[in-house]
Amino acid sequence: DIQMTQSPSTLSASVGDRVTISCRASQSISWWLAWYQQKPGKAPKLLIYKASTLESGVPSRFSGSGSGTEFTLTISGLQPDDFATYYCQQYNSYSRTFGQGTKVEIK
């Protein structure tokens, strides 16, 4: 199975900050990467697919980049509603895998 490794595991930030989360795949997955946001007690929400395509309705302060094995989720101007856990997910192989998650906390 393809392993997905996110960093950092936890990130402390303030409202208005620019935040970057990294996701690394154990082998090339081309652009087949998605990002999800999850809040406590809720189902995940799709933010970005195909590494950099914003899902409909997702604010433009979210952006994704990368290809191959290295990917990044950036939040430009963190808002109170953005404090949550973020997961990357590869869908290049038959067996999908998620990263372990990055919790964005209030500083």
Partner 1 sequence: EVQLVESGGGLVQPGGSLRLSCTASEFTFSSYWMSWVRQAPGKGLEWVANIKQDGSEKYYVDSMKGRFTVSRDNAKNSLYLQMNSLRAEDTAVYYCARGDSSAWDGTYDIWGQGTMVTVSS
Question: Which positions lie near partner 1, rule CB under 8 A?
Answer: 1, 34, 36, 38, 43-46, 49, 55, 85, 87, 89, 91, 94-101
Total residues belonging to the chain:
107
Burial annotation 19-31 (CB, 10 A radius, 16+ → b, else e): bebbbbbeeebee
Least gap, CB of 88 to partner 1 (angstroms)? 10
Q: Provide the H-helix boundaries in the chain.
A: none
CB atoms under 10 Å from CB of 99, counted, come to: 25
- The residue (of 19 and 99) whose beta carbon lies closer to partner 1 is 99
Least gap, CB of 42 to partner 1 (angstroms)? 8
CB atoms under 10 Å from CB of 42, counted, come to: 9
Least gap, CB of 98 to partner 1 (angstroms)? 4
Least gap, CB of 106 to partner 1 (angstroms)? 19
- The residue (of 80 and 94) whose beta carbon lies closer to partner 1 is 94
